[in-house]
Amino acid sequence: MTALTAGITPAGEGIDGVVWNILGQTYKPVAHGESCFAFDTLFPDGTFVPPHIHASQDEFIRVLEGRFDLVLDGQPLTATAGDLIRMPAGIMHGIFNKSGAPVRALFWVTPAKGLYTLFTRIHNVADPGEVVRIASEYEVEFLPPPE
């Protein structure tokens, strides 16, 4: 992996034109290096990232438009436009769009680890079970659904 490069990623674009479809959500990488990885997202209504843990990455989300419902360390929370969600390494979190409208957000993780490669591998993978299996290779542990 390389160092973070200086520059500008134009609004609405991903680095080198990259756009991923991750289980119906749109992710566009906007910064990438060893120290961090940032990506713009669009979550259509009804989409979500189920509860999971990043063992060795801190993750942050700046909600740009809309509302996310979350589970963070077992607690239900809501974040709206302008809010910053902080998810330290090892803390369980799940992100849900139940708002009735799309949600736009900027996500970033530090350090980057293999998350960019993970997203490349799960782009257009329609089977959630296969996404979970592949994610386990990148220190992202999805948790069993609640009883």
Contact 142, 58 (CB under 8 A): no
pLDDT of residue 2: 83
In the chain, where the domains are located: 19-142
User: pLDDT by residue (tens digit) across 117-132?
Assistant: 999 999 999 998 899 9
**Calculated CA dihedral for residues 50, 28, 123, 101, nearest 10 degrees:** 50
DSSP state of 102: -
pLDDT of residue 38: 98
Mean pLDDT of 128-138: 92
pLDDT at 13 over 60: yes
User: pLDDT by residue (tens digit) across 57-114?
Assistant: 999 999 999 999 999 999 999 999 999 999 999 999 999 999 999 999 999 999 999 9
The structure's pTM equals 0.94
Cα–Cα distance between 125 and 122 in angstroms, integer? 5
Cα–Cα distance between 25 and 43 in angstroms, integer? 5
Coil vs helix vs strand at 112: coil
Instruction: Work out whether the CA dihedral 84, 58, 40, 22 comes out positive or negative.
Output: negative
Coil vs helix vs strand at 130: helix
- CATH code of the region 19-142: 2.60.120.10
pLDDT of residue 146: 55
Mean pLDDT of 8-33: 96
